[in-house]
Amino acid sequence: MKIAALAASGCGVGYARWAPGTFGSVLGGVIGCVLLDHGHAVLAAGVVVASVIGLVAIPRTGKAAVDPGWIVIDEVAGQMIALLGLPFLTGSGVLLAFLLFRLFDIRKPWPISLADARADEWGIMADDWIAGAFVAVILLGLRLVWPGSGL
């Protein structure tokens, strides 16, 4: 397997027989939790690294004109963005971030659908960046409404 395909597939996670995007989100969640445990700045740096890896690797796979299911580096980055909305790690917060991210990534409301329509590596990555940002904003809003929740 080429290095670009290995990176774009989340070290092979994207080759899961079913729900590769979900497995990519789980990978992003695990990496994101480890990084968030060291602080939001470390998690943000991880988002940048995953995003650069995606933007460099995806065109080298020859699949940048479409978003094949096995490319999951976008889910990794998007799920990590979603976790930025948590003040600290809690099981309920991580689960809610995961479920909301998958909902937005699958349903693709506007403007996520707008980014998804772009037929290049920027579109492949951007729809998940936006989905992750939506989730982070929702989690931040929930913290204001429900401050003691750990969200």
Is the model's pLDDT at 99 over the cut of 80? Answer: yes
95, HSE (Cβ side, Cα atoms, 13 Å): 4
**Which tokens is 83 given?**
């976790």
**Which tokens is 19 given?**
């729900």
**End-to-end CA, the chain:** 40
Share of the chain above pLDDT 70, in %: 96
Residue type, 104: F
Of 103, 123, 100, the C-alpha closest to 113 is: 123
User: What mean pLDDT do residues 94-106 have?
Assistant: 97
User: What mean pLDDT do residues 28-35 have?
Assistant: 98
The dihedrals phi and psi of 110, each to the nearest 5 degrees, come to -65, 140
Give me the pLDDT at residue 1, please. 62
Compute the distance between CA of residue 106 and CA of residue 127 in angstroms, rounded to an integer.
Answer: 10
Compute the distance between CA of residue 14 and CA of residue 82 in angstroms, rounded to an integer.
Answer: 20
Question: Which DSSP letter does residue 14 get?
Answer: G
Of 106, 94, 96, 148, the C-alpha closest to 131 is: 106
Is the model's pLDDT at 53 over the cut of 70? Answer: yes
Structural element, H or E, at residue 131: helix 121-145
Tell me: the pLDDT tens digits for 67-92? 789 999 999 999 999 999 999 999 99
User: What mean pLDDT do residues 96-106 have?
Assistant: 97
Compute the distance between CA of residue 91 and CA of residue 136 in angstroms, rounded to an integer.
Answer: 16
- Name which of 21-25, 50-54, 82-86, 118-122 the model is least confident about: 118-122
pLDDT confidence band for 150 (50 / 70 / 90): low
